[in-house]
Chains A and B, each alone.
Chain A
Amino acid sequence: MLYFTLASKAYSRNLQYRGAHMVHNLASAMFGYMYACLWIGIGADHSLGEYGTQGMISYIAFTQSSLWISGFLTNGLGIPLSVRTGQIALDLMRPVHLFTHLMAREWGQIAYQFVYKSIPIYLLFSLVFSLHWPSNVSTLFYAALGLAGAAYLSICMNYIIGVTAMWTTESSWLHWGNHAMMNLLAGFFIPLEWLPNWLEQLAWLSPYPFLLYVPTRIYLGFEDGSLLWGTLLWCVFMTLICLAITQVLRRKVEVQGG
């Protein structure tokens, strides 16, 4: 119940800024439109494999909309900020585990972004590019599972990034590094199979493909749900890291004067 309240508060806090977010959606849609134009340009002279030009447009539309679920989360789940203000000491004293507390809040944020960002952007793309929606219920179900797993993985990754602020007092550089890796290894703009071999193999050794590429492939009907085992494996692994790192963090806390 507490977790649900935390999540719903985070959700409703965002409702105040719906207007501004709609302008931002327009900008996000413009980025997606631009990337789609690039693929249309490439598709004019080359065949685009199993996707074809229309398939690549659908691919870009889905990844761009999914970014708001598994890419653009609160920087370090807000830990760097609370380290700077000293709030972290209070957060650690609460009778709730820091990880689950911050995670509940972030789920509210993600739910808001899904409703007010991902869906409007995808609807806009659907109209502009006449996208086909999957007719199979199981496809939608597996894609939704893939996205939920991606959101969870991203929460864990952001938690780990945020926690490093305890040592560096500033972890925005790691946040940006993570963003760069997403650009390259998550299949955001290029499907992974078109990467050079060594880079594709490297990507599959990381959790990044499960953030965007896997849900997108499932949604487009190129995969069944079997890749979701990978998502599950990474979720378990990341959870263990997050729990272990919180143990270390409890001993590290230093309150900054000021």
Chain B
Amino acid sequence: MKRTSWFNLYKMLIRTSIRSRMQYKFNFIMASILAALIQISEFLMVALVLHRFGAIKGWSLHEIGYLFAIMTLSKTLYRTFGNEVHHLEKYLVNGELDQLLTRPMPVLLALLPQNFRIMAGEVLQGGFILCWSVAGMMHSGQIGWTVIPFSLLIILTGAVILFSIGLATATLGFWTTRIEELQTITEDAARTAAQYPLTLYPKWMSGILLTVIPVGFVNYIPSLYLLRGEGGAWILVVVAAVAVLSLAASLRFWQFGLTKYQSTGS
């Protein structure tokens, strides 16, 4: 099949997925509002501490808000398109992956549009904190307007990195079947840790967050250059390279994992 036809097919599957989700409008609106509320409560928790004590290891509230917002928006972008990778366990346990394997298209392409997730609450909240923190830092003269396009770029590379981590974790499910517990570590805990400056953690831990689970490259490393002028523009090139390498490695791992897939035989 041609590349454009794959794309059209993908678009059609996503449209169908959105229509099915919109059947329950009230739930969608409530879920979005509450998703935003939870995001607020999580950020407020730290904001309240910073309000009382000032900076944490030299990082101001605006800077931590920036780290938080970039992570939220990258995760939102990843989950909007790749939510089913995160929920692969149900396909493995119920044997639903069998149906996708019989389709005349790559499994990943069939899997991703199964449930296109519109995360309005996260976009609103992440967007709000990003605008607020960038505006605050611009006002104090800490950063210039160039941060804005670069921020959009690192949200994109961040989403690629988070997707790669998610895909690699999901792939382990071909051997272990159950992956939810592992995802809590590689996705949730790691991502939450990277919402704060990595200097807060002992070396072994920040080392893991930059190598084994490279969440530090989603927001922390680019922020060193964008907000604090440490290093040079080459940092952004490194971040992009990490994103491409992680994606390539996780895709290869996924392909290998697929060959080990055994149906549940239900």
Residues of B within 8 A of A13 (CB): none
B-facing mask of A19-57, CB < 8 A → 1, else 0? 011011011001101100110111011100000000000
Give chain B nearest CB distance to A57 CB in angstroms.
13
Cα A38 to Cα B30 with chains together (Å): 32
Cα A21 to Cα B49 with chains together (Å): 31
Q: Which of B30-54 contact A (CB under 8 A)?
A: 30-31, 33-35, 37-38, 40-42, 44-46, 48-49, 51-54
Cα A38 to Cα B57 with chains together (Å): 9
Is B189 among interface residues, defined by CB-CB distance under 8 A?
Answer: yes
Q: In the complex, are the beta carbons of B201 and A173 less than 8 A apart?
A: no
| Residue in chain B with minimal CB distance to A30 | B189
Q: In the complex, are the beta carbons of B56 and A173 less than 8 A apart?
A: no
Cα A31 to Cα B57 with chains together (Å): 19
Cα A27 to Cα B42 with chains together (Å): 18
| Residue in chain A with minimal CB distance to B42 | A183
Is A177 among interface residues, defined by CB-CB distance under 8 A?
Answer: yes
- Sort chain B's interface into a size bin: 35 or more
Is A223 among interface residues, defined by CB-CB distance under 8 A?
Answer: no
B-facing mask of A166-196, CB < 8 A → 1, else 0? 0010101110110111011000111000111
Is B217 among interface residues, defined by CB-CB distance under 8 A?
Answer: no
Residues of A within 8 A of B189 (CB): 27, 30-31, 34
Q: In the complex, are the beta carbons of A180 and B54 less than 8 A apart?
A: no
Given the contacts A34-B192, A34-B193, A180-B38, A26 and B200 also touching, CB distance less than 8 Å: no
B-facing mask of A145-157, CB < 8 A → 1, else 0? 0000000000000
Main secondary structure of the interface of B (DSSP, over half): helix
Interface 9-residue window, one of B109-117, B176-184, B238-246:
B176-184
Residues of A within 8 A of B181 (CB): 20-21, 23-24, 27
Q: In the complex, are the beta carbons of B52 and A194 less than 8 A apart?
A: yes
Q: In the complex, are the beta carbons of A184 and B53 less than 8 A apart?
A: no
Residues of B within 8 A of A184 (CB): 41, 44-45
Give chain B nearest CB distance to A76 CB in angstroms.
14
Q: In the complex, are the beta carbons of A26 and B56 less than 8 A apart?
A: no
Give chain A nearest CB distance to B59 CB in angstroms.
9
Cα A162 to Cα B57 with chains together (Å): 42
> Which of B24, B26, B185, B201 is close to A27, meaning CB atoms less than 8 Å apart?
B185
Give chain B nearest CB distance to A172 CB in angstroms.
8
Residues of B within 8 A of A38 (CB): 46, 49, 56, 196, 200
Residues of A within 8 A of B51 (CB): 196
Q: In the complex, are the beta carbons of A24 and B184 less than 8 A apart?
A: yes
Q: In the complex, are the beta carbons of B53 and A176 less than 8 A apart?
A: no
Q: In the complex, are the beta carbons of B45 and A176 less than 8 A apart?
A: no
Give chain A nearest CB distance to B176 CB in angstroms.
10
Cα A31 to Cα B193 with chains together (Å): 8
Residues of B within 8 A of A170 (CB): 24, 27
Q: Which residues of A contact B (CB under 8 A)?
A: 20-21, 23-24, 26-27, 30-31, 33-34, 37-38, 40-42, 44-46, 168, 170, 172-174, 176-177, 179-181, 183-184, 188-190, 194-196, 199
Residue contacts A-B, CB under 8 angstroms, 25 given = A33-B205, A34-B189, A37-B205, A38-B56, A38-B200, A41-B57, A41-B199, A42-B56, A44-B57, A45-B57, A176-B37, A177-B34, A177-B38, A179-B38, A180-B34, A180-B40, A183-B38, A183-B41, A183-B45, A188-B45, A190-B49, A194-B48, A194-B52, A196-B48, A196-B51
Q: Which residues of B contact A (CB under 8 A)?
A: 24, 26-27, 30-31, 33-35, 37-38, 40-42, 44-46, 48-49, 51-57, 178, 180-182, 184-185, 188-189, 192-193, 196, 199-202, 205
The 9 closest A-B pairs by CB, nearest first: A180-B41, A27-B184, A23-B181, A41-B200, A173-B34, A183-B41, A30-B189, A173-B30, A27-B185
9 further A-B contacts with Cβ under 8 Å, apart from A176-B38, A177-B34, are: A20-B181, A27-B189, A34-B189, A38-B46, A173-B33, A173-B34, A174-B34, A176-B37, A179-B38
